[in-house]
Amino acid sequence: MHLAHYLGLLHKAQNRLGDAFTEIGEAHRDEPDIFHTCQRLAGQCRGHAEKLAPFAHRYAEDAPAEPDRLHSQLFSGTRSGGLGLLRDLQDLYLMAAECDISWAVVGQAAYGARDEDLLAVVKSCEQETAIQLKWLRTRMKQAAPQALVAAE
């Protein structure tokens, strides 16, 4: 069964996304909404990882290296200024999108395995991930005019 591979991927990806939210929130703490929202979303991601832990053990987690590679390629350090904020939010969006599609794949596997407990976790967590993506997209739209047109 390859469900363990995707559980490992998702478990690591959620932890890495939580780390990235924390890092970007700290780097852009002069933007109060960024700091506070990123801290809250980091907690959500860590909570998702905690909810996955029992299933990772049940299915013998096989954690691939992809989330680590994605995190290290995107985060060789945060950026500064308006353009830096926009780029950092875009990086978060890409990482959250990886989690989003992984939730969908794991959800389909949970249906196939008839694992109602895993399915319940997927349904609640994928809804929160979808909201994270919406917030990131909205915040990027808000930051774009200032960063791309008005900035010197």
Per-10-residue mean pLDDT of the chain, 152 residues long, equals 84 93 94 95 98 87 56 64 91 95 96 96 97 98 89 62
Cα of first residue to Cα of last residue in the chain, in angstroms, is 54
Give the burial class of 1: count Cβ atoms within 10 A of its Cβ; 0-12 exposed, 13-18 middle, 19 or more buried. exposed
Q: At what angle do helices 3-27 and 32-58 cross, to 10 degrees?
A: 160
The pTM for the full model equals 0.88
pLDDT recorded at residue 61 = 56
Q: Among 49, 50, 59, 55, which residue's Cα sits nearest to residue 119?
A: 55
| pLDDT for the residue 14 | 96
pLDDT of amino acid 10: 93
pLDDT score for 103: 97
Q: What is the pLDDT of residue 66?
A: 59
Beta strands in 1-116 (DSSP E): none
The per-residue pLDDT for 64 is 58
Residue 6's contacts (CB-CB under 8 Å, 6 or more residues apart) are 102, 105, 106, 109
pLDDT reported for residue 120: 97
Predicted pLDDT at 150: 80
Q: Using CA atoms, how far apart are residues 52 and 35, in angstroms rounded to an integer?
A: 26
Q: Please choose, from the candidates 32, 26, 44, the residue with its C-alpha nearest in 3D space to the C-alpha of residue 128.
A: 44
The predicted pLDDT at position 8 comes to 87
What are the percentages of helix, strand and coil residues in the chain, rounded to 5? 85, 0, 15
Q: Which fold would CATH assign to domain 3-150? A: Ferritin (1.20.1260)
